Amino acid sequence: MKTTPDTPVRPRAEQELYIENNYWQQQSLGSLVSVWRTQFSNNVALIEAGTALTYAQFEQRVLAHSAGFQQLGLKTGDHVMIQLPNNLDFVISCFAMFHLGVIPILAMPAQRESDIAALCDLSNPVAYIVPNNYLGHDYIAMAERIVSACPSIEHVLVSGNAPATAPFTPLSQLASTTPVVAPSIDPSSTALMLLSGGTTGTPKLIPRSHNDYHYNAKASAELCQLNQHTTYLAVLPVAHNFPLACPGIIGTLSQGGKVVLCPAPGPDEAFPLIEQHKVTHTALVPALAKLWLEAKQWDDTDISSLQLLQVGGAKFATEQALQVPEVLGCKLQQVFGMAEGLLCFTRLDDPQSEVAHTQGRPLCDLDQIRIVDEQDNPVAQGEVGELQTKGPYTIAGYYKAPAQNQTAFTSDGFYRTGDLVRMNQSGNLIVEGRIKEQINRAGEKISVAEIEQRLLTHPYIDEATLVPVPDAHLGERSCACIISSQPVSLNDVHQLLKEQQIARFKYPDQIISLSFWPLTAVGKINKTALAKRAEEEYIETS
Ligand code: J2J
């Protein structure tokens, strides 16, 4: 009987090509910590609030945590759910796990029980790492409920104070001076799992290998010309691929630069850190970039050290893109990326018109891209079609998801991005829309299917769908469209989702009630008409 591996891998010949070209450097992410220590020993590697760690101190902390994890019984191949904000514990814990071949599953602090429980079901983690409290949410209480529902979890490790009850242990107590016995790690094995934005009712995990993720971070760092004088501000949630490795934290460390961890993304928090640490590089989603542009009009904090602002995660409006150099005093780089792999960047020496109007081109010369029509046939040059891709850092399939992999990947191994793009004369891509059933709310991705299923659990809602509506602040907001037996308000829907422990960003921003669906010529729900009606009916409250 043919068995399907939990983690699909690239054919041997492709792997060999990546190794021969030196894109896959056959090193585990954990082993890099000592390589960096030898190269950059006394440089500052990481800063959080009042604490700064040199590369040598960072290595010590990683080794001490590896030893602590090992004493707890964590071993190569084990999964650990980690849900931390932008702090040193996140970075140290991840590298300590990479060192042991333990696989962190990177959950966002904004996620709530429904997501975490589903991810635990899928991946059976042996430990769960949480903050005690962050932005008013009690993670200890949440962890208690997760542990009782998920029998594989033996340890809850807490960043900050932990309750004295088993199985809770403060991460700070874990560090051990017993030397770690580091196992040898296969660099083509999974190093970490990222979360997919999702188009289905259940979450999907993206397995990234040591080889591919190292390439991803290092090549991005080289493209952005990071070096030992770089100071990178990690503003977006660090569990996200963009601030983690595009080039983000790992890319900056690979070049001997300094990473400053920013606890929250607003200008109030970020601008003083930029001034204090003379930050040179950072990355934002468009909704935040817009906020920064607005704040800079009246805020006189000195952010003149900024050299490069990367903006990605959702389409950046051209008029805002054009303002970046003048208002923020730095270069702009547009990034069109995905946790599944492919990264497109505008280049530092691209003319301003390309930077303002396009989302760039692939990072690697071995990235294969094609733009296809509904029958998977290539469209003519300059036409819009779905982007498909494969390459040295794009996954061959989601973790334990054979059915989804059948549809998300072509028979020749290309990932169907679900994004509609066109290529201009200079080879840069312009994102024109998407065919995947997803809403991109300020860069955060919401699966339409998941929210539809949940809306249908309301006793009065008979039929439901969710549509994206253009929004001045969020880029897109979500509108629940329902057919119900009795009136249902937006508040009722929020209450329902709150009871189901859904992350706040997935709550619909708007609701419209209908008695019948507008239909397209082929009899499908006409979502364009729904979005138009939602736009007409919308009353801004804030
Ligand atoms: C339009 N849509 C975009 C852009 C991503 C860097 C940057 C972003 C992500 C990311 C990332 C877009 N314009 N500039 O992982 O490393 C939408 C597309 C894409 C999806 C991926 C990175 N940049 N998108 O956003 O996995 O629809 O990664 O397929 O969260 O975001 O989402 P995600």
Q: Which atom of ligand 1 is nearest to the CA of 240?
A: 15
Measured CA to CA, the distance from residue 133 to residue 332 in angstroms comes to 35
Mean pLDDT of 298-321: 97
Q: Which of 336, 394, 428 to mutate to test the pocket of ligand 1 (most atoms within 8 A of CB)?
A: 336
The DSSP output letter for 317 is P
* Residue having the nearest C-alpha atom to atom 5 of ligand 1: 313
Q: What is the ipTM of this complex?
A: 0.99
User: So what's the pLDDT on residue 541?
Assistant: 63
pLDDT of 181 higher than 90:
no
Whether the CB-CB separation of 279 and 273 falls below 8 Å is answered with yes
Outline which parts of the chain fall under CATH 3.40.50.980. 28-186
Outline which parts of the chain fall under CATH 3.30.300.30. 438-537
Q: Which atom of ligand 1 is nearest to the CA of 206?
A: 26
User: So what's the pLDDT on residue 2?
Assistant: 47
CATH number of 212-434: 3.40.50.12780
Chain length of the chain:
542
Measured CA to CA, the distance from residue 116 to residue 122 in angstroms comes to 10
Residue 510 tokens, joined: 């708007």
Q: Which atom of ligand 1 is nearest to the CA of 340?
A: 26
Q: Give every strand in the sheet of 429-434, ordered side by side.
A: 368-372, 385-390, 415-423, 429-434
User: So what's the pLDDT on residue 198?
Assistant: 76
Q: Which atom of ligand 1 is nearest to the CA of 194?
A: 26
Which residues contact ligand 1 via a Cβ below 6 A? 197, 241-242, 246, 312-315, 334-339, 343, 359, 417, 419, 431, 434, 440, 445
Measured CA to CA, the distance from residue 334 to residue 308 in angstroms comes to 10
**Torsion angle, CA of 98/100/102/103, rounded to 10 degrees?**
20
Measured CA to CA, the distance from residue 509 to residue 538 in angstroms comes to 10
Mean pLDDT of 158-178: 88
* Residue having the nearest C-alpha atom to atom 33 of ligand 1: 338
Q: Which of 193, 241, 250, 338 to mutate to test the pocket of ligand 1 (most atoms within 8 A of CB)?
A: 338
* Residue having the nearest C-alpha atom to atom 13 of ligand 1: 315
* Residue having the nearest C-alpha atom to atom 7 of ligand 1: 337
User: The whole model's pTM is what?
Assistant: 0.95
**Residue in this structure with the two tokens 């993720």, named with its chain if needed:** 213
91 Cα: distance to centroid of ligand 1 (angstroms): 22
pLDDT of 44 higher than 50:
yes
**Residue in this structure with the two tokens 């029998």, named with its chain if needed:** 151
Residue 244 tokens, joined: 């983690």
pLDDT of 281 higher than 80:
yes
537 Cα: distance to centroid of ligand 1 (angstroms): 29
CATH tag for 438-537 (out of 3.40.630.10, 3.30.420.40, 3.30.300.30, 1.10.1740.10): 3.30.300.30
445 Cα: distance to centroid of ligand 1 (angstroms): 9
| Least confident among 132-136, 152-156, 483-487 | 132-136
- Judged on CB neighbours under 10 Å (0-12, 13-18, 19+), 200 is buried
pLDDT of 291 higher than 80:
yes
Mean pLDDT of 456-468: 95
User: So what's the pLDDT on residue 539?
Assistant: 82
- Whether the upstream peptide bond of residue 85 has omega within 30° of 0, thus cis, is no
Beta-sheet pairing, 429-434 with 133-134: unpaired
416 Cα: distance to centroid of ligand 1 (angstroms): 14
Which class in CATH covers the domain with range 28-186? Answer: alpha beta
Mean pLDDT of 93-104: 98
308 Cα: distance to centroid of ligand 1 (angstroms): 19
Q: Which atom of ligand 1 is nearest to the CA of 445?
A: 30
Q: Which atom of ligand 1 is nearest to the CA of 312?
A: 14
Outline which parts of the chain fall under CATH 3.40.50.12780. 212-434
- Judged on CB neighbours under 10 Å (0-12, 13-18, 19+), 410 is middle
pLDDT of 279 higher than 60:
yes
How confident is the model over 421-461, as pLDDT tens digits?
A: 999 999 999 999 999 999 999 999 999 999 999 999 999 99
